[in-house]
Structure 1
Amino acid sequence: MTGLLDSCEEFFGTRDLYKVLNVDKKASENELKKGYHRVSLKVHPDRVNPNEKQDATQKFQTLGKVYAILSDVDRRAVYDESGEVDDENIAPDDRDWDQYWRLLFKKITIEDIKNFESEYKDSAEEQSDLKQAYVDGEGDMEYIIQNVLCATVDDEPRFTKIIQKWVKNKEVPDFDRFSKESKKKKDARKRKAEKEAEEAEEMKKELGLGDTEDSLKALILKRSRERAGEMDSFLSDLAKKYGGSGGKKGTKKSGKK
């Protein structure tokens, strides 16, 4: 059986539990929870291609175990002192980590997501995620928009300027999919996004939904189930593509952003 620290190194590239959550070693309880939430939005199994589900589930389980240790005063103290964890006393893999996650964050509202989006956009974290998506997708702008949190086609001009600067400074490769993308493909992407927005508005009318928070949740949940079947987490959809349009499903690579 693989130990937790080994799993951390495999999935997150570090054996440091604090680095897994991207928090300081002196992080408060609230900071730990925020760190866990922020990372979980990126690695939640709902966000990956079905073919990558197994690795994504293991990564999500590892993240949950890390938070479970650091959020426990006694186990955190042992880890801080020894740098080791007691694998025998960690919750088993078959624990429902998704339910654990939902219980922790069940009070998150659309307003919380708006605030997250506001803080995330133009941040160093977004730029890091954008660079990773650009490299992973080899310059494919549709892939980039799908795999950067909160991104829509409206962000494309902003992303393009940032990436062009990186290419000029040789921080990233100059992929043909980016620099030589045809106007036809760009226009098709824009039309697709506009069509999805129109479909969402029509669905709202058909369902008799207004603009209240609950009706928006219901709309996003209905669309996500129609598009992915097994998806029942409106929150991870919101995190992927905030807004009434419902957006496209991400095809994020496990272990990346």
Structure 2
Amino acid sequence: MATTSSFYEVLGLPMNTTSHEIKAAYRKLARTCHPDAVSMNQKEMSASEFIKIHAAYSTLSDPDKRERYDRDLYRNRRPFGSSSARSATMAAASGYTSRNWETDQCW
């Protein structure tokens, strides 16, 4: 499995996927990548892949963790020069650092 930049890519899913689809993708990948399900010469590589898959599933299957992850993922993918990024930089400089989805909708 190649290095990926998001948990959605680890599971091979789009960001707007349902919890049922997340569980189905996890179970499918777990059957093929679990260290107990592969041959002896693939166990080490399989174990590291399974750890990534499990981390992705544990985050995306919990609604609160998924919300935080999505928010952080969105923040990290915005271009630095965007007006929202400049607003966030100016707000942080003024001492206001508590931002969330609801307050961002006003900007």
TM band (smaller chain): 0.5 to 0.7
Q: C-alpha distance in 1, partners of 2:39/2:32?
A: 13
Q: Secondary structure of 2:13's match? A: coil
Instruction: Give the equivalent residue in structure 2 for 1:72.
Output: 62
Q: C-alpha distance in 2, partners of 1:52/1:31?
A: 27
Deviation for aligned residue 1:14: 1.1
Q: How does 1:91-110 map to 2 (within 5 A)?
A: none
Paired residues in the alignment total 74
Deviation for aligned residue 1:18: 0.7
Q: Does 1:62 align with 2:52?
A: yes
Of 50, 72, 81, the residue aligned with 1:82 is: 72
Deviation for aligned residue 1:22: 1.4
Deviation for aligned residue 1:15: 1.4
Deviation for aligned residue 1:52: 2.6
Deviation for aligned residue 1:82: 1.1
Q: How does 1:203-222 map to 2 (within 5 A)?
A: none
Instruction: Give the equivalent residue in structure 2 for 1:52.
Output: 42
Q: C-alpha distance in 2, partners of 1:20/1:57?
A: 14
Amino acid at match of 1:33: K
If the length of structure 2 is used for normalisation, what is the TM-score? 0.60
Instruction: Give the equivalent residue in structure 2 for 1:28.
Output: 18
Q: C-alpha distance in 1, partners of 2:9/2:70?
A: 13
Amino acid at match of 1:50: M
Q: C-alpha distance in 2, partners of 1:80/1:50?
A: 36
Q: C-alpha distance in 1, partners of 2:68/2:59?
A: 10
Unaligned runs of 5+ in 1: 1-10, 85-257
Q: C-alpha distance in 1, partners of 2:47/2:70?
A: 27
If the length of structure 1 is used for normalisation, what is the TM-score? 0.27
Structure 1 residue runs of 4 or more that deviate by more than 3 Å after TM superposition: none
Superposition CA RMSD, Å: 1.8
CA-to-partner distance for each residue in 1:61-84, whole Å, 9 max, x for gaps?
Answer: 221111000011111111111129
Q: Secondary structure of 2:49's match? A: helix
Q: Cα gap change, 1:12/1:37 in structure 2, threshold over 3 Å: closer, same or farther?
A: farther
Deviation for aligned residue 1:47: 3.2
Q: How does 1:1-257 map to 2 (within 5 A)?
A: 11-83=1-73
